[in-house]
Amino acid sequence: MNSVLWFHAPVILFFCLWVYALPGPCFNVSLMDFMETDTQRQLRDLMRKFATKTMLPQIDQDEREERFRPEWIRALGDLGLTGIVVSEDDGGAGLGYQEYISALEELAQVSAGYAISVAVTGLAQLILSRFGSQSQKSQWIRALAEGRAIGAFSLSEAGSGSDAASLRTTATRDGDFYVLHGTKQWVTQGDSADLILVMARTGGPGPLGISTFILEKGIPGFRLGKREKKMGCQVSHTMELVLDQVRIPAENRVGAEGDGFKVAMTALDSGRITIAAVALGVARGALDVAVRHAQHREQFGKPIGEFQGVSFLLADMAVQLKAAQLLVRHAASLRDQGAAFTQEAAMAKLFATDMAMKVTTDAVQVLGGSGYTQEFPVERWMREAKVLQIVEGTNQIQRLVIGKRLLEPLV
Ligand SMILES: Cc1cc2nc3c(=O)[nH]c(=O)nc-3n(C[C@H](O)[C@H](O)[C@H](O)COP(=O)(O)OP(=O)(O)OC[C@H]3O[C@@H](n4cnc5c(N)ncnc54)[C@H](O)[C@@H]3O)c2cc1C
């Protein structure tokens, strides 16, 4: 009997890991179904199928090897999952942010790195469709929506993160060209992007001196600098970009001169909803695994879920996740209705990403020593959750945005 078990041990181990790693809610509280339309559910299912079948078997190794696969973005594009909010005329699905967040949440459960990749290309789509000229739109939006091109967004520099309006890269007009000079930092997928929306200074100091430009791959004077060594999301490369007297045609400017900061902030308002959706996916994955573990792991002669210390922890995780889902869905629905959503997007990003950090940390705790190992995805989700509190405006900056809006009538 023992030798039979031993013979089957690898199969049993694989099955256990598979069950633990399989995305999809396993607990009794339905956290999102009651609010989702059929379309949202279908998108979620489509994304889940692709992510679990194609990505899940490969993702841990790719994370270790820091390998990004552009072909997965193309495959997502073929399924219609990279242009959900792009209009049908421009090659997208013409749906709203509520559909977008359902798909992103699902993708994030398997890989926050790829969910961020889709969301960052989404920033480029949004900027071009809102502020781009007709020729910029026809050149790029369809390709981005169909996953045939990858977009990047480059606002930050070494000296200007939270204080983005103090950026120093210059764009000097020279006849029908602009000459871009400086070093940009922290550019997600700067190495795989076909186009990068770069913010550079065309005027005096402050936000009104900034403009946005399309920087295309391979243009002379543009080279990649260092790639950051990071805590998580290794498949998503974070790049320094060196711009050494890069001459780009004036028609590559997006929007008016001096509108660059407005362009960036408009994109980030919506981007924050997508980062919040990524946080939901990461947290939901962690809660699912923690619940399964609490049901199966026995100590002191019973499943650990029967100890109140564990079940209360799980209960708090579920409550926090559900609250975050409601906030994110609310921000997305305001955006879909064309209502003001800046404050709600900041609230959703702040709450959902803080929640993801807490829920993933607690999931590691529920799994005990195993949670701290790479046998289970919870340690990866915990590392992925951390960056969500930082990107697209740190959570301190979200509080500034919320506080400013609250106090507006008083000042
Ligand atoms: C993995 C990764 C990917 C990224 N991708 C991109 C990208 O694609 N494009 C891009 O443009 N940028 C990107 N960024 C940059 C990101 O947006 C910045 O890291 C972020 O805005 C914070 O800037 P900073 O790192 O310079 O921190 P700082 O601005 O130096 O902040 C340091 C600390 O001080 C706090 N702080 C700063 N100002 C205030 C204040 N007024 N009140 C209270 N607290 C404050 C911050 O909250 C933070 O805790 C990425 C960053 C990372 C880590």
Band of the pLDDT at 408, cuts 50, 70, 90?
confident
Whole-number pLDDT of residue 32:
58
Whole-number pLDDT of residue 4:
38
Ligand 1 in reach of 72 Cβ (< 6 A):
no
Ligand 1 in reach of 161 Cβ (< 6 A):
yes
Contact 144, 119 (CB under 8 A): no
Tokens of 67: 């390998």
Q: In angstroms, rounded to a whole number, what is the distance separating the alpha carbons of residues 93 and 81?
A: 8
Whole-number pLDDT of residue 36:
84
Helices (H), 217-259: none
Q: Which helix (H) or strand (E) holds 195?
A: strand 195-201
Q: In angstroms, rounded to a whole number, what is the distance separating the alpha carbons of residues 103 and 166?
A: 35
Tokens of 73: 């973005």
Q: 20-145 — its CATH code?
A: 1.10.540.10
Over pLDDT 90: what percentage of the chain?
A: 89
Is the model's pLDDT at 84 over the cut of 70? yes
Contact 199, 154 (CB under 8 A): yes
What architecture does CATH give domain 262-410?
Up-down Bundle (1.20)
Band of the pLDDT at 411, cuts 50, 70, 90?
low
CA-190 nearest atom, ligand 1:
8
Ligand 1 in reach of 188 Cβ (< 6 A):
yes
Ligand 1 in reach of 388 Cβ (< 6 A):
no
**Numbered ranges of CATH 2.40.110.10 in the chain:** 151-257
Ligand 1 in reach of 160 Cβ (< 6 A):
no
- Write out the catalytic residue numbers: 392
**Numbered ranges of CATH 1.10.540.10 in the chain:** 20-145
Whole-number pLDDT of residue 394:
98
Whole-number pLDDT of residue 114:
98
Q: Which amino acid is at 38?
A: D
Per-residue model confidence as pLDDT tens digits over 149-172? 999 999 999 999 999 999 999 999
- Strand 253-254 relative to strand 238-249, pairing: unpaired
Average pLDDT score over residue span 84-88? 95
Per-residue model confidence as pLDDT tens digits over 204-237? 999 999 999 999 999 999 999 999 999 999 999 9
Q: In angstroms, rounded to a whole number, what is the distance separating the alpha carbons of residues 196 and 239?
A: 12
Give me ligand 1 centre to Cα 394, in Å: 6
CA-230 nearest atom, ligand 1:
1
Per-residue model confidence as pLDDT tens digits over 293-348? 999 999 999 999 999 999 999 999 999 999 999 999 999 999 999 999 999 999 99
Which of 118, 236, 390, 400 is the best mutation target for the ligand 1 pocket, counting ligand atoms within 8 Å of the beta carbon and taking the most? 390
Average pLDDT score over residue span 163-188? 98
Band of the pLDDT at 1, cuts 50, 70, 90?
very low
Is the model's pLDDT at 22 over the cut of 60? no
DSSP 379-396: HHHHHHHHHHTTTTS-HH
By the 10 Å C-beta count (0-12 exposed, 13-18 middle, 19+ buried), 54 is classed as middle
Contact 267, 123 (CB under 8 A): yes
- Strand 210-216 relative to strand 298-299, pairing: unpaired
Contact 143, 194 (CB under 8 A): yes
Tokens of 31: 């956290």
Ligand 1 in reach of 156 Cβ (< 6 A):
yes
Is the model's pLDDT at 25 over the cut of 70? no
Is the model's pLDDT at 17 over the cut of 60? no
CA-264 nearest atom, ligand 1:
11
Whole-number pLDDT of residue 19:
42
CA distances from 99 to 6, 47, 274, 342 (A): 46, 11, 11, 19
Q: In angstroms, rounded to a whole number, what is the distance separating the alpha carbons of residues 135 and 132?
A: 8
Residue 201 backbone dihedrals phi, psi, to 5 degrees = -90, 120
Is the model's pLDDT at 23 over the cut of 50? no
Q: Which CATH class name applies to 151-257?
A: mainly beta
CA-199 nearest atom, ligand 1:
11
